[in-house]
Amino acid sequence: MASKPLTRGRDSFFKDCEHLTVIPSVVHLRQTRTAGDDTFLLFADLMSGCGMRDGEAAAVDLNNIVADDVYRITEQFNQTTHTYVALKHRKIGDYRDVPQPARIRETIEWDADKHGTVDGYLLRHPKDPGRAFPCYHLGNQ
């Protein structure tokens, strides 16, 4: 794709780059999903399949599956308070419905069956299940 010049002699807003691809391939996603443990696989599926942000994926709740193909995002992990909070830039009680492919629903259900839940939440703090899962723990992988 060629660069598109901007006005007044500024640099282009898109530069060709051989080592970057715009959309990851299916093979690349499969390799990424299986690069870590079960938590990483769940995160990778939620973020790539439902378009969740990392804080939203950390707050995944089995009770938020509202239909076979819809997941309702109601909260996210807050890195400052280490708790679940309302979504950014939304009022308390607001939510965001996202498409949920069958593969993602199966991953959520598989994780819940294998690791269990705490009040519906799949991911909890590795050392204290009473606390929220800190998404920065994925940095180890």
Q: Is residue 23 within 8 Å of 100, Cβ to Cβ?
A: no
What is the structure's pLDDT at 141? Answer: 55
pLDDT in tens, 111-126: 999 999 999 999 988 8
**What are 100-109's pLDDT values in tens digits?**
999 999 999 9
Residue 7 has pLDDT above 70, yes or no: no
Task: Please report the pLDDT score of residue 130 as a whole number.
Answer: 87
CA distance 32 to 133: 21
CA atoms of 117 and 104, how far apart (whole Å): 17
Residue spans per domain, the chain? 24-140
Q: What percent of the chain has pLDDT over 90?
A: 46
| Exposed / middle / buried, residue 54 (Cβ in 10 Å: 0-12, 13-18, 19+) | middle
User: Please, are residues 53 and 76 in contact by the beta-carbon 8 Å criterion?
Assistant: yes
Q: What angle do CA 114, 76, 38 make, to 5 degrees?
A: 25
Paired strand residues for 102: none
Sequence-ordered strand ranges (E) for the chain: 65-67, 70-73, 75-78, 83-86, 96-99
What are the pLDDT digits (tens) for 81-105? 989 999 988 888 899 999 999 999 9
Using 50, 70 and 90 to split pLDDT, how confident is the model at 15? low
Domain boundaries 24-140, CATH class: mainly alpha
- How confident is the model over 72-78, as a mean pLDDT? 93
Question: What is the predicted pLDDT for the residue at 8?
Answer: 56
